[in-house]
Amino acid sequence: MHDPEGVIKYQLTHIEEPVPLSATEFSQINAWRTMAYQLGVIGQDSTRYGGLGFGNISQIVTHKAIQFIISGTQTGHEASLSLAQYCGILTADIDRNTMTAQGLCKPSSEALTHAMIYAINPTIKAIIHVHSPEIWHAAQPLNLPCTATDIPYGTPEMALAVEQLFIDKQLANTGTFAMLGHQDGIVSFGLTLEKAGIELIKYLAAARAINAYS
């Protein structure tokens, strides 16, 4: 059975203060987040995941105290987010399952996995986590790397499973993987938000092509 969507499983210390984000950084991440919403891979649907919001986006930023910014938990229903709906991750401890965040909202439930990806490969600067039944069900014909079906999202186990994909070089030639224990869960990443976004769109188009002839 797949886990319910949208539940924060790490121990969070939340500093409820505005996140210091430049106008340029905000406009970049929000543009790609809006694009994902328009594609239907970030959003909220009363018929899916118990009606909870799904999907999130993050980016490395220039502010020294902030490791990365990420969209807030349960913001999927919004077509476009405000600055108040993003928060900054100050610390993330995978082993202890703890995180410290600053912002007027709490971070996405998948923030720990984002932190692991950034930590293991510092060249990665942006991550988009979406829910795409099309890509997820076509993971095998698309030859996508996958985490196992028994690994739940938002846990140290998921973060370590993603780390293993990097160690095993399964992500050497792709910036996308599927979470088989997280229904429809797909993660794309890249050196920039644009590269992460294009990677996601590439697999969405390929999945639709496969589904058209299946």
pLDDT tens per residue, the chain (214 residues)?
A: 344 444 567 889 999 999 988 899 999 999 999 999 999 999 998 888 888 889 999 999 988 889 999 999 889 899 999 999 999 999 999 888 899 999 999 998 788 889 989 998 999 999 999 999 999 999 999 999 999 999 988 778 888 899 999 999 999 999 999 999 999 999 999 999 999 999 999 999 999 999 776 5
- Residue 128, beta-bridge partner list: 57, 188
pTM assigned to the model: 0.93
Tokens matching residue 204: 């969405």
Quickly tell me which residue has 């600067």 as its tokens. Answer: 125
Q: Which domains does the chain have, with CATH numbers?
A: 11-212 (3.40.225.10)
Q: Which long-range contacts (CB under 8 A, 24 or more apart) does 93-96 make?
A: 94/119, 94/156, 94/159, 94/160, 95/156, 96/11
Q: How far apart are CA 200 and CA 196, in angstroms?
A: 6
Q: Half-sphere exposure of residue 15, counting CA atoms within 13 Å on the CB side?
A: 15
Residue 51 DSSP symbol: G
8 Å CB contact between 3 and 50: no
